[in-house]
Amino acid sequence: MTGSPITPQNERSTSLMDNLLGLLRIRIKRGVNLAVRDVRSSDPYVVVKMGRQKLKTRVIKKDVNPEWNEDLTLSITDPSLPIKLTVYDHDTFSKDDKMGDAEFDIRTYIEALKMNLGEIPSGTIISKVQPGRNNCLAEESTIDWKDGKVVQDICLRLRNVECGEVEIQLQWIDLPGSKGL
């Protein structure tokens, strides 16, 4: 064998890039009719988890229809892992209350990304995902070609709570040096 020996640190960073397919930008748009957890309202924020990654939005005070319009970015190594979204009510003096959760799958979105779309008009629907027992969709979700990007708008119905939905949008970011799709 020729060449210099690989140190464990170099090995680790190389394997992360080798396994990294790209980045998934999740825009947490807004909450609709979220549960009341304080006296008359709630102070909601969203936590997104995938594998060991955990990201959260800012807290919006006293609003059951909050507008976050906040981007959270996950590193994707295994697109078959579900993404879990949980809404919490921020409390100053006690443990934050859960306001429901939802899970969504990105496999259909990843399949749409792999298509060679080239010269199709902006606004073209590439694929549709129907609500069903095995997902948390509140309504049909479309995967669209918008301005040269594959975008999926999703409305998630929260589980384990009396009411509430969260609207999100998925967008893919290719990373130079990553494995790619």
pLDDT at 172 over 90: yes
The predicted pLDDT at position 174 comes to 87
Question: For 38-88, what is each residue's pLDDT tens digit?
Answer: 888 999 999 999 999 999 999 999 999 999 999 999 999 999 999 999 999
Is 36 in contact with 180 (CB distance < 8 Å)? Answer: no
Which tokens in the block code for residue 10? Answer: 């170099």
- What DSSP line would sit under 61-91, residue for residue? TT-SS-EEEEEEEEEES-TTS-EEEEEEE--
Task: Say whether pTM exceeds 0.95.
Answer: no
44-58 CB burial, b ≥16 within 10 A, e <16: bbbbbbbeeeebebe
pLDDT at 179 over 70: yes
- Rounded Cα gap, residues 123 and 109, in angstroms: 16
Question: Any idea which fold 21-173 has?
Answer: Immunoglobulin-like (2.60.40)
Residue 147, judged by CB atoms within 10 A of its CB (0-12, 13-18, 19+), counts as exposed
Q: Which residue is listed with tokens 């990373």?
A: 175
The predicted pLDDT at position 12 comes to 46
Is 61 in contact with 43 (CB distance < 8 Å)? Answer: yes
- Rounded Cα gap, residues 46 and 71, in angstroms: 11
- Rounded Cα gap, residues 29 and 48, in angstroms: 13
Mean pLDDT, rounded, of the chain = 90
Domain boundaries, the chain: 21-173
pLDDT at 10 over 60: no
Band of pLDDT at residue 9, cut at 50, 70 and 90:
very low
Which of 74, 49, 71 is closest to 58 using CA atoms?
A: 71
- What DSSP line would sit under 94-110, residue for residue? SPPEEEEEEEE--HHHH
- Rounded Cα gap, residues 14 and 19, in angstroms: 9
